[in-house]
Amino acid sequence: MARSGILYVHVAAAAAHLAAEGHNPTIDSIRAALGGTGSKSTIAPLLKRWKAAHPGTLAQAELGLPAELVLALKGVYQKVQAEAAIQCQQAVEAHQVETAALQEQLQQAVAEQAALLDAQEQQAQALAVAQARSQGLEETVHQQEIALASLDSDKRGLEQRLVDRDSEIAALTRQLQQGREQFEHYQASVAQQRTDERQTAEQRQQRLEHELAELRQRLLAQQTHLGELHAQEQRLALDHDRLQSTLLTTQDTLTQNRSAHDQMVYQLTGLKQTHQALEQRHGNGEQRLAETLTRLAVVERERSLLARRLTRAETQLTEMATEKELLLQDKAVLTSQLAEFRTEDDRP
């Protein structure tokens, strides 16, 4: 509680006097204006009360500008902030929509690939049945060896494609890391009021990294499945050795085996075409993700431009304050000269 010697009216009068002279009222300046009396703990709440009741006078004393001009500049600043927040929100919503669409497409692609793998397993079973029917036919065995060699070549091609996908995912991860570092650097240079936006953007990037990690795990699962297919191929080779021992007992079923083999080749061809279409869809999804990252970079550049505009506005405000101070100094000089002229005119 304030002491009986220092009242609110005393502090208010001293603060108004300092503000009228263009000085910012502080605890020390109020205490000096009161003749060095009163403790800081007594003056502080009274000065805070006066500042809350006279915001326009305080702004004019701090900046040396009219209160109307200060309020107008604050309105411009708030409008620029609101527009930047709206643009950022729109960009975030658009990115979320595109990310959801890409996730849905990726899930569809994984489902289709699983279906293709099931179909491939069924075709392998059909191949085993066809080989059981064509036991002992050297010509059929030779054709099966060619088919196995083709499958091995396709497997190596798929493994190479998976390696390429890992490289592309690593490149995307580095790009995301670079984008996050730039975004964090940008957030470090802005005011405290944009901290929430920075946290939101970082969480969104973490979700993207998590999605990429899940995609990599799915690709590793596909590699494991290809390993299982290779094991099946080895088992087929063992079956081939057994087929050679019964070559003379299956001549009557030669025609049926050839027909079944032709049908199997046709189905394998369709399976390869479907797999190629799946890879093309996956590439399109990655391209859309890159476009989304590009649009996010554009939004960040727009934010940077708005920040620079705000900095220029603050610089202009400082220059206007400096010019006003120079004008006041010139006015004081002219007033002094006018007083001297009047003094000389008043002399006898």
Query: What's residue 60's pLDDT?
Result: 57
Compute the distance between CA of residue 69 and CA of residue 339 in angstroms, rounded to an integer: 32
| SS3 of the chain: helix, strand, coil, percent, to 5 | 90, 0, 10
**Residue 341 falls within a domain, yes or no?**
no
Range of the domain at 13: 8-64
Considering the domain architecture, whether residues 37 and 181 belong to the same structural domain is answered as no
**Residue 121 falls within a domain, yes or no?**
yes
Considering the domain architecture, whether residues 156 and 298 belong to the same structural domain is answered as yes
Q: CA angle at residue 346 from 344 to 348, to 5 degrees?
A: 95
Q: Which residue has the higher pLDDT, 267 or 188?
A: 267
Considering the domain architecture, whether residues 37 and 91 belong to the same structural domain is answered as no
Considering the domain architecture, whether residues 116 and 198 belong to the same structural domain is answered as yes
Task: Point out the domain boundary residue: 47, 64, 81.
Answer: 64
Give, in order, the Cα–Cα distances in Å from 32 to each of 1, 28, 39, 50, 302: 21, 6, 11, 17, 49
Considering the domain architecture, whether residues 60 and 77 belong to the same structural domain is answered as no
For the segment 64-105, what is each residue's pLDDT rounded down to a tens digit? 455 555 566 667 767 877 887 898 788 888 888 988 888 888
The CA radius of gyration of the chain, in Å to the nearest whole number, is: 40
For the segment 300-347, what is each residue's pLDDT rounded down to a tens digit? 888 888 778 878 878 888 888 788 888 888 788 888 777 777 777 666
Considering the domain architecture, whether residues 172 and 109 belong to the same structural domain is answered as yes
Q: How many CB atoms lie within 10 A of CB 25?
A: 24
Compute the distance between CA of residue 219 and CA of residue 206 in angstroms, rounded to an integer: 20
For the segment 204-227, what is each residue's pLDDT rounded down to a tens digit? 888 878 887 887 888 788 788 878
Compute the distance between CA of residue 345 and CA of residue 342 in angstroms, rounded to an integer: 5
Considering the domain architecture, whether residues 57 and 196 belong to the same structural domain is answered as no
Cβ neighbours of residue 17 under 8 Å, at least 6 residues apart? 33
**Residue 347 falls within a domain, yes or no?**
no
Considering the domain architecture, whether residues 21 and 98 belong to the same structural domain is answered as no
Q: CA angle at residue 118 from 244 to 130, to 5 degrees?
A: 25
Tokens linked to 160: 């190479």
For residue 332, the SS3 value is: helix
List the end-to-end C-alpha distance of the chain, in Å, as a whole number.
60
Domain count, the chain: 2
Considering the domain architecture, whether residues 55 and 182 belong to the same structural domain is answered as no
Query: What's residue 1's pLDDT?
Result: 40
Tokens linked to 150: 């083709």
**Residue 247 falls within a domain, yes or no?**
yes
Q: Among 181, 171, 123, 179, which Cα is nearest to 150's?
A: 123
Q: What is the pTM of this model?
A: 0.23
Position 44 pLDDT exceeds 90: yes
Considering the domain architecture, whether residues 18 and 79 belong to the same structural domain is answered as no
Considering the domain architecture, whether residues 262 and 215 belong to the same structural domain is answered as yes
